[in-house]
Amino acid sequence: MPAPFSRRAALRRLGAFAASSPLYQLGGQQRPPGLRERVPALEEIESVLEFEPVARARISRTAYDYVAGGVDGEFTLRRNRQAFEWAELVPRALAPAAAPDLSAEIFGQKLPCPILVAPTAAHSQVHPEGEKATHQGAAAAGVLMAVSSNSSYPIQEVAAAAKGPVWFQLYARDTPEGTRDRVERALAAGCQAVLLTVDTQYMSHRERMLHDRHLNIPAAGVPVRTRSRRQAGAPPAPYRLQPQNPDLSWKTVEAIRAYTNVPFLLKGILTAEDARLAVEHGVSGVVVSNHGGRYLDYAPSTLEALPEIVQAVGGRIPVLIDGGFRRGSDVFKALALGARAVLVGRPPLWGLGAFGPEGVRRVLEVLQAELAMAMAATGCATIAAIDRSAVLVDFA
C-alpha cells in the first residue's frame, strides 16, 4: 500500500510543476491573452487593431507597457477610444462614390492623405532601427512623419532615412539656448514644421512603467534599477513631482516663434480659451491632444474637445488632432468635426514592433483604405467635402 501523501509533499510537487512551466521561465512576460499559436503573416492582417497583439508578442514587456500605458488609472486613455462610439456617420444612398480623393493640403504642403504619424519617443524599444525604420514605412505609404525630440536617433539621421516629409516635435529645454539649438538642428535637417508640446509641466505617474521598475524588468538599452527610492543627495520631490517643463509660458511661445521660420504649432491644446490665446500669440496651428492619455487622467477625450476648439479659432489657423485613432472611420469623424489632419501614434509603433517598416506601411495603408470607404459611403468625393453634416454626435 503506498505511503500517505502529505499536504507538504503535494505542495512541493505543485511548486516543481509550476517552476517547470514555460510561462514561469519567461519571467512574467507571458504571451498576450487570446493570441493565436501561429502568428499571422503581414498580408493576413486586415485591421490596425490586429497589429497590437503581434507586436506585444514580439517586443519586451517594458517596451509594450511604455507604448500602451497611460497616466494613473488610464481613464483618459480609455475615453479617447470611447468617444468615437458617440459619433455616428451619416450614410448617403446613391451618392457619387467613384474613386474618393484623399489628397489634402496643409501649410502649403500637398499630402496624399490627411493622416500623419504622430511624434512618439524611443522607437528603438520596439525595433533596432527605431524612428529611421518608422520613417521608411511612413514614406512608403506617402505619409508625413512628425519626429519626437526624444527620438532614439538624431533628427538628421531620421530625416535622411527616407524621402518623405518630416516635422519636428519640440520639448523646451532648461535654457533658451538649448531650445533654440534643437530647433535649428531640426530646420537644418529639413523639417517643414515645428510642434511645441505644451502639456508636460511635470513627469507623469504611469503605473505600468513604475510596476515594471519595481519588478526590475530592463527596458531596451536601459540598465536595471535595483531601487526605486530617491538616491541620497538628490533634491526633494514633494508629492512625487518631477519637473519637466514647469516654467513654460506664453512668453516662451513668443520667443520660439520669433526664430522659427517654418509653421509653428502648439501641441496639447484642449480648451477654447487656450486655442484663442494661441491665435493671439501668432502660432500657425494647434494640435488638439491629451498626450495619448499619458499626462492628465480625467482629461476630456480629444474628439470631445475638438468642436469647441474649431469654433474658437474660427478658421484663422488649422486645427489638427491626435488621440485614440484606430480606424479610418475615426479619422473621418475628426475631419467632419473640423480637423484638418489627424496624427496617429500607437498604431505605427504596433506595426513597427510586429513587422518593421513594412508593418508601419501596412498600418497606414489600412487607415487610408478605411477612410476612403467611409468617404464613399457618405457621399464625400474629396477631403474638402467632408463636413459637419456627415456625422451625428452625442457626447455623454
**Are the beta carbons of 189 and 169 closer than 8 angstroms?**
no
User: Could you give the 3-state DSSP secondary structure of residue 270?
Assistant: coil
Q: Which three cell numbers, joined as nine digits, stand for 158?
A: 531620421
d(CA 227, CA 358): 39
Nearest C-alpha neighbor of 114 from the set 322, 316, 290:
322
d(CA 90, CA 389): 8
State how far the alpha carbon of 59 is from the alpha carbons of 123, 128, 208, 355, in Å: 11, 11, 16, 11
211 among known catalytic residues: no
DSSP labels, 313-360? HTTSS-EEEESS--SHHHHHHHHHTT-SEEEE-HHHHHHHHHHTHHHH
**Are the beta carbons of 299 and 290 closer than 8 angstroms?**
yes
Nearest C-alpha neighbor of 67 from the set 121, 6, 109:
121
Q: Which three cell numbers, joined as nine digits, stand for 23?
A: 510561462
**Are the beta carbons of 360 and 126 closer than 8 angstroms?**
no
E-only strand ranges, the chain: 87-89, 104-106, 109-111, 115-117, 145-147, 166-170, 194-197, 264-269, 285-288, 319-322, 341-344, 391-393
Q: Which three cell numbers, joined as nine digits, stand for 24?
A: 514561469
Positions marked active-site: 291
